């Protein structure tokens, strides 16, 4: 059975409502296929796949000398200095914190060793969000959660990359959506990748599917905030499988795609 047949079988068996897959080397695409609710040009919410793009944007700033990997993030985004380490959350919802012993650096942010967490992944951050009330999505409030550990002490999947995106904004003078468009999406010819869904993208936007009690899937409309307080570098844009493949091919070819260099090989 070929790969295309396997994709079709996955849909027909009810395992997934739709699937799109592609594979490439640095030299070009070697496979593309889709079945069911997804097409090769479907516009998909790429969620945490955004993190790699934000990482590339941050490394462009390092190349330009705007800041270094070990620069304290608070030198660029002073708001991050307000973060303290979580000590306890009392039964009445009282939150106790203490100052961190060392500053958070860009290296910490990019490697998820800043001490931050996600309320969807960590029970303590979830309890904090419950104690403080609903945190406004795509906002500084959402990024204000306390540290779970000292910076550099341990790895924890987190909102760190959202803060790296804020560093890019502060150093470049551009909002993250515009910075990425000008310095990554346009040079790499990724016209269907953006925080805001354009008219040409909207008819192809894929629904988010959730499993229902009948064992099937229910399609839901994931409507992005087109004017957020914060453009979340950790997971907000939409893209297509073809566009994202161009980004990954650039990484495989050491920062260059089709003769266009967006990152230096040594970074």
CA-wise closest residue to 69 among 201, 164, 194: 164
Q: Which of 42, 51, 114, 181 is catalytic?
A: 51
Q: Is 48 a catalytic residue?
A: yes
Q: Return d(Cα 6, Cα 250) in angstroms, integer.
A: 28
Q: Are 217 and 210 in contact (CB under 8 A)?
A: yes
Q: Is 205 a catalytic residue?
A: no
**Angle, vertex CA 51, rays to CA 83 and CA 137, nearest 5:** 55
Q: Is 157 a catalytic residue?
A: yes
Q: Which of 66, 139, 144, 157 is catalytic?
A: 157
Residues assigned a catalytic role: 48, 51, 157
């Amino acid at each position: 059975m070929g790969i295309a047949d396997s994709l079709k079988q996955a849909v027909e068996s009810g395992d997934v409502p739709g699937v799109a897959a592609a594979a490439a080397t640095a030299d070009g695409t070697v496979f593309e296929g889709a079945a069911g609710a997804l097409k090769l040009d479907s516009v998909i919410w790429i969620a945490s796949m955004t993190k790699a793009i934000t990482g590339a944007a941050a490394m462009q700033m390092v190349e330009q000398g705007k800041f270094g990997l070990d620069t304290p993030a608070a030198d660029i985004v002073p708001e991050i200095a307000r973060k303290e380490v979580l000590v306890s959350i009392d039964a009445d919802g009282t939150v106790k914190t203490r100052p961190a012993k060392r500053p958070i650096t860009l290296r910490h942010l990019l490697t998820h060793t800043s001490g931050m967490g996600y309320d969807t992944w960590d029970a303590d951050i979830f309890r904090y969000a419950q104690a403080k009330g609903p945190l406004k999505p795509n906002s500084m409030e959402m990024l204000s959660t306390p540290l779970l550990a000292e910076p550099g002490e341990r790895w924890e999947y987190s909102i760190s990359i959202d803060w790296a995106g804020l560093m890019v904004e502060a150093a470049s003078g551009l909002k993250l959506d515009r910075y990425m468009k000008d310095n990554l999406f346009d040079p790499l010819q990724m016209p269907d990748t953006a925080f805001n869904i354009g008219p040409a993208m909207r008819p192809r936007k894929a629904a988010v599917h959730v499993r229902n009690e009948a064992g099937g899937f229910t399609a839901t409309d994931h409507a992005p905030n087109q004017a957020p307080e914060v453009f979340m570098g950790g997971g907000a844009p939409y893209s297509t499988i073809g566009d994202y493949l161009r980004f990954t091919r650039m990484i495989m070819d050491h920062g260059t795609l089709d003769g266009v260099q967006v990152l230096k090989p040594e970074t």
